[in-house]
């Protein structure tokens, strides 16, 4: 595809004009040209920025404007004041006023609605009003949402959103791992809720890994910017910059969830004692592969299971999802071994065979379960 | 960027409640950009100011009808364009100037070096690139980026095809990206030479 085509698609994406199909083509092109990443990031950032406007000039102009209107015998009175004199006028005026006020309250309500506090468990919602997309272990899926945003779902993951997604809000919940390429819409921020964090985006591409069985929830930002809040700490906003990865300990978020729930139900203050010094979360720089500028965190989108300095116990959990197997490691030292590599077309047997080259272990496969021992 | 939803809400408050605060908010929201837009055609600050005031008088008079408009933002721009053309023909100054003759200044190429991975030199080059854009390209870029109009609205406003708008937007962004590419190579050269020493 030509460079011209690329710039047409990219500018359409920035302006919110691109269709879902065009976004998919663009994504493909960007992946083939990692060297464009830098310019893309800067242009997206540039696009979002707008300078402070000079309000005083507007205020002055409005004064002059009101004077001109008065000269033309057109006047807009402050509500209720001048009109109180005429009771008929007053009555009519007030009715309109209440109608408008009602509209405003409804609008305000929509804005205030916090997906965090208002989101009920899916089971209590009307089934028909919710769309749910799930991937089984061992399989992946690509979804296009009604607003044109594209989500790649990794194995064993679920994405849910209301039927009215895109009309008044853009809210989804994620269990598992997803790579999001979100279309720009300043009016309707795209909000992703997971068990322990909430992510607010305007338009960007990033990866979220939030499997309930994992110890950590990871958010890796490829470009654009996103705002992350940890559940029950809605006042602490973390802004991620491109090429940053946020890691949140799920335990902490869960414990606080439980305490909060307890307080809500019983009115008693509950405080589970946490170890005094413990990392709640950390922000790290994403590492780009020097050869092809790829980022390990999102390579699964390209059907690659990439691991960089990862403990075997963590890799095993990912392999379980990737190959739809159960892996049990019977030896702590083996489980702690750190590994680097990529699996692409390998079968589970080939993958284990390759790992055996680096770590001395034996394995036995019984049905779906793989037992690893020294 | 003013949003249609915000404008609709304000127009409703003005129409149904004669809400002066909402009317003022609407005025403040759109005054600056509409004045600039009018200026680009009229090339006179005074006349542009008067045009915006006239436009808001019209909004007040027609407020009940304006609540049904799908894209009020587009309504404001087309009305402003028509009023500007009418003024010009009344004054017999000029026939409708084509977008190539519009005088447009971009405001929103705004940088925060802390946020962007850019150097002073690079920003200077980008500003230069913006200044060097062909007039029609600059008009289109401004209407899409700063004024938040849709491609097809810009096409209708300027009486061009949507394809032309697409192509001009691509040109603008490619030129900006060009300024950034150069820098990347320079950075690479710098880091490699550092390693050597």
Instruction: Give the Cα separation of A158 and A132 in Å (integer).
Output: 7
Does A72 sit within 8 Å of B146, measured CB to CB? no
pTM: 0.48
Q: What is the pLDDT of residues B46-74, one digit of tens each?
A: 999 999 999 999 998 888 888 888 889 99
Same fold, A115-285 and A304-373: no
Instruction: Name the fold adopted by A304-373.
Output: Phage tail protein beta-alpha-beta fold (3.55.50)
| pLDDT of B178 above 70 | yes
Residues 104-133 of B with CB under 8 A from A: 107-112, 115-118, 126
Residues 60-79 of B with CB under 8 A from A: 60-61
Would you call A65 an interface residue with chain B, using a CB distance cutoff of 8 Å?
Answer: yes
Does A103 sit within 8 Å of B12, measured CB to CB? yes
Burial of B65 (0-12, 13-18, 19+ CB in 10 A): exposed
**Inter-CA distances, B98 with A231, B82, B151, B153, B159, Å:** 55, 13, 18, 16, 9
Long-range contact pairs involving A281-285 (C-beta distance under 8 Å, separation at least 24)? A281/A230, A281/A238, A281/A246, A281/A247, A281/A248, A281/A249, A282/A246, A282/A247, A283/A238, A283/A240, A283/A244, A283/A245, A283/A246, A283/A247, A284/A244, A284/A245, A284/A247, A285/A243, A285/A244, A285/A245
Does A93 sit within 8 Å of B151, measured CB to CB? no
Would you call A11 an interface residue with chain B, using a CB distance cutoff of 8 Å?
Answer: yes
Nearest CA in chain B to A65: B53
Instruction: Give the Cα separation of A214 and A254 in Å (integer).
Output: 12
CB A231 within 8 A of CB A116: yes
Does B176 sit within 8 Å of A46, measured CB to CB? yes
CB A321 within 8 A of CB A296: no
Chain B residues within an 8 Å CB radius of A51: 107-108, 110
CB A283 within 8 A of CB A238: yes
Per-residue pLDDT of chain A (374 residues; tens, 9 = 90+): 577 888 999 999 999 899 888 888 888 888 887 777 777 877 887 887 766 666 778 888 898 898 888 888 776 654 433 332 233 333 334 344 444 444 444 333 333 333 333 333 333 333 446 788 888 887 788 888 888 888 888 888 889 888 888 887 899 999 889 888 888 877 888 999 988 888 888 767 888 888 887 878 888 888 777 888 877 667 777 788 777 888 887 665 555 555 556 555 555 554 444 433 333 667 777 776 666 667 778 778 777 888 888 889 889 998 998 888 899 998 888 898 888 888 887 888 888 888 888 888 889 888 889 999 98
What are the structural domain ranges in chain A? 55-112, 115-285, 304-373
Quickly count: other Cβ atoms within 10 Å of residue B175's Cβ. Answer: 17
Domains of chain B: 4-95 (1.10.1740.10), 101-196 (1.10.10.10)
Does A59 sit within 8 Å of B28, measured CB to CB? yes
Would you call B12 an interface residue with chain A, using a CB distance cutoff of 8 Å?
Answer: yes
Would you call B35 an interface residue with chain A, using a CB distance cutoff of 8 Å?
Answer: yes
Instruction: Give the Cα separation of B168 and A191 in Å (integer).
Output: 33
**Cβ pairs A/B, distance under 8 A:** 139
Q: What is the CATH number of domain A115-285?
A: 2.60.120.1440
Would you call A99 an interface residue with chain B, using a CB distance cutoff of 8 Å?
Answer: yes
- Pairing of the two strands A158-162 and A130-134: antiparallel
| pLDDT of B75 above 50 | yes
Question: Quick one: pLDDT at residue B49?
Answer: 93
Residues 147-206 of A with CB under 8 A from B: 186-187
Chain A residues within an 8 Å CB radius of B119: none
Among A186-195, A299-308, B83-92, B114-123, the minimum mean pLDDT is found in B114-123
Question: Quick one: pLDDT at residue A257?
Answer: 57
Place of tokens 């269709």: A19
Question: Quick one: pLDDT at residue B82?
Answer: 93
Facing residue for A11 by CB, picked from B5, B27, B173: B173
- Three-point CA angle A161, A165, A167, nearest 5°: 170
Facing residue for A76 by CB, picked from B1, B23, B53: B23
Question: Quick one: pLDDT at residue A327?
Answer: 92
Facing residue for A43 by CB, picked from B32, B56, B176: B176
């Amino acid at each position: 595809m030509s460079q011209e085509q690329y710039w047409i698609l990219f500018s359409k994406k920035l302006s919110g004009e691109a269709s879902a199909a065009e976004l998919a083509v663009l994504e493909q092109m960007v992946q083939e040209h990692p060297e464009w990443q830098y310019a893309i990031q800067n242009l997206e950032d540039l696009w979002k920025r707008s300078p402070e406007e000079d309000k005083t000039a507007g205020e002055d102009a409005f004064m002059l404007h009101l004077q001109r209107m008065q000269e033309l015998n057109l006047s807009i009175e402050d509500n209720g004041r001048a009109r109180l004199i005429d009771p008929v006028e007053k009555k009519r005026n007030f009715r309109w006023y209440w109608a408008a006020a009602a509209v405003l309250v409804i609008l305000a309500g929509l804005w205030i609605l916090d997906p965090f506090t208002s989101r009920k468990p899916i089971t209590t919602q009307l089934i028909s009003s919710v769309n749910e997309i799930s991937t089984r272990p061992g399989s992946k899926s690509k979804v296009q949402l009604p607003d044109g945003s594209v989500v790649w779902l990794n194995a064993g993951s679920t994405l849910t959103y209301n039927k009215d997604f895109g009309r008044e809000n853009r809210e989804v919940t994620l269990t598992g791992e997803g790579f999001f390429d979100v279309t720009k819409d300043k009016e309707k921020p795209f909000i992703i809720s997971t068990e322990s964090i909430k992510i607010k985006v305007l338009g960007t591409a990033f990866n979220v890994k939030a499997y309930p069985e994992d110890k950590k929830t990871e958010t890796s930002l490829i470009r654009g910017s996103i705002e992350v809040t940890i559940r029950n700490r809605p006042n602490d906003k973390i802004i991620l910059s491109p090429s940053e990865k946020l890691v949140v300990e799920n335990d902490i978020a869960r414990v606080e969830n439980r305490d909060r729930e307890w307080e809500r139900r019983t009115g008693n203050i509950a405080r589970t004692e946490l170890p005094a010094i413990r990392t709640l979360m950390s922000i790290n720089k994403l590492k780009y592969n020097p050869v092809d500028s790829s980022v390990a965190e999102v390579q699964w989108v390209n059907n690659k299971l990439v691991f960089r300095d990862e403990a075997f116990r963590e890799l095993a959990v990912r392999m379980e999802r990737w190959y739809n197997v159960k892996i049990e490691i019977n030896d702590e030292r083996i489980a702690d071994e750190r590994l680097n590599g990529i699996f692409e077309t390998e079968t589970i047997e080939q993958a284990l065979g390759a790992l055996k080259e680096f770590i001395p272990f034996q394995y036995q496969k019984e049905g779906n379960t793989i037992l690893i021992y020294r | 960027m003013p949003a249609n939803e915000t404008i609709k809400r304000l127009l409703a408050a003005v129409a149904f409640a004669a809400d002066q605060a909402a009317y003022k908010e609407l005025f403040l929201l759109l005054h600056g950009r509409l004045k600039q837009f009018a200026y680009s055609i009229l090339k006179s600050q005074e006349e542009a100011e008067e045009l915006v005031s006239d436009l808001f008088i019209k909004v007040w008079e027609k407020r009940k009808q304006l609540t049904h408009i799908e894209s009020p933002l587009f309504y404001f721009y087309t009305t402003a364009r028509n009023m500007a053309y009418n003024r010009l023909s009344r004054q017999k100054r000029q026939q409708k100037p084509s977008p190539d003759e519009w005088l447009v200044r971009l405001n929103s190429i705004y940088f925060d070096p802390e946020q962007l991975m850019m150097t002073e030199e690079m920003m200077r080059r980008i500003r230069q690139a913006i200044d060097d854009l062909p007039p029609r390209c600059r008009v289109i870029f401004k209407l899409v980026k700063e004024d938040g109009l849709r491609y097809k609205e810009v096409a209708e406003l300027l009486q061009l095809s949507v394809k032309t708008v697409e192509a001009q937007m691509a040109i603008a962004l490619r030129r900006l990206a060009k300024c950034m590419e150069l820098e990347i190579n320079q950075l690479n050269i710098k880091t490699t030479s550092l390693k050597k020493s």
